[in-house]
Amino acid sequence: MIFLGFGTMNSKDGGPFKTRDGGVMRLEHLIDEIDEEVYRKIQEKQRVPEEEMRRTAEMIGLAALKYGDLSNQATKDYVFDVDRFISFEGNTGPHIQYMVVRIKSILEKYGELMGGTYSLSPIRPAASETEKKLQLELCRFGEVVESAFAETAPHRICQYMYDLSDAFNNFYLVNKIIGEEDREKQAGFISLISLTKDVLNACMDLLGMEAPEHM
């Protein structure tokens, strides 16, 4: 048996939640509330069937809640801020999911460009700082997972996902992937971001999360 100490979960005013005082919402009600808030956000951005929006909202809401909790070191106190948890920007579950959805969209466009089918090429040596940074982050996957399990510290996986997402985003901003005219270079980019997607998905799977098809 392993004992794992926990810090307190605090409200926005800084005070800890106290179950004896009845100031804590039931988990099922909290999940419903988060799902509804995420659903409203999706409605503002997408025009997809109702069923798909609801399913997407549930996936994002659950990831927001899990990531919001697990991204904090267990032994430290933290502020339970739902508005921050469901944000699509910053160190949040929805932000990580969005990065995966973005990569999948790029891969789909590349597939169309290649006539529907393509094979992944070897990843090329880095030709820029952003490409090098992304490759180095990918190399850290194994050691991060090992340390997270050894120390019972899922927040390490969350931080790694955020660092990897940030490295991908910086790479994406300075490199034309779909518009790259050098086909060999483009194929290397595709292999690199495909691996990034797979690693992010693997990390999310370890934490019981998954990315929707669209966001």
SS (H, E, C) 184-199: HHHHHHHHHHHHHHHH
Q: What was the pLDDT predicted at 4?
A: 63
Q: What's CA 195's distance to the chain center, in Å?
A: 15
Q: How far apart are CA 141 and CA 45, in angstroms?
A: 33
Q: What was the pLDDT predicted at 130?
A: 98
Q: What was the pLDDT predicted at 73?
A: 81
Q: Which residues contact 29 (CB under 8 A, 6 or more apart)?
A: none
Pick left, alpha or beta for residue 141 (phi over 0 → left; psi -120 to 50 → alpha; otherwise beta).
alpha
Q: What was the pLDDT predicted at 5?
A: 60
Q: What was the pLDDT predicted at 7?
A: 60
Which domains, from first to last, does the chain contain?
9-206 (1.10.730.10)
Q: Which residue reads 């899990």 in tokens? A: 66
Task: Give the residue among 59, 73, 107, 70 at the shortest CA–CA distance from 92.
Answer: 70
Structure tokens at 199: 């690693």
Q: What was the pLDDT predicted at 184?
A: 95
Q: What is the pLDDT along the chain (215 residues), one digit of tens a residue?
A: 665 666 666 556 655 555 555 555 566 778 888 888 898 888 887 777 888 999 999 999 999 999 999 998 866 766 778 889 999 999 999 999 999 999 999 999 999 999 888 999 999 999 999 999 999 999 999 999 999 999 999 999 999 999 999 999 999 999 999 999 999 999 999 999 999 999 999 999 999 999 999 88
Q: Which residues contact 102 (CB under 8 A, 6 or more apart)?
A: 172
Q: How far apart are CA 137 and CA 160, in angstroms?
A: 8
Q: What was the pLDDT predicted at 122?
A: 94
Q: How far apart are CA 95 and CA 196, in angstroms?
A: 15
Q: What was the pLDDT predicted at 28?
A: 78
Burial status of residue 26 (CB atoms within 10 A of its CB: 0-12, 13-18, 19 or more): exposed
Pick left, alpha or beta for residue 90 (phi over 0 → left; psi -120 to 50 → alpha; otherwise beta).
left
Q: Are the beta carbons of 54 and 39 closer than 8 angstroms?
A: yes
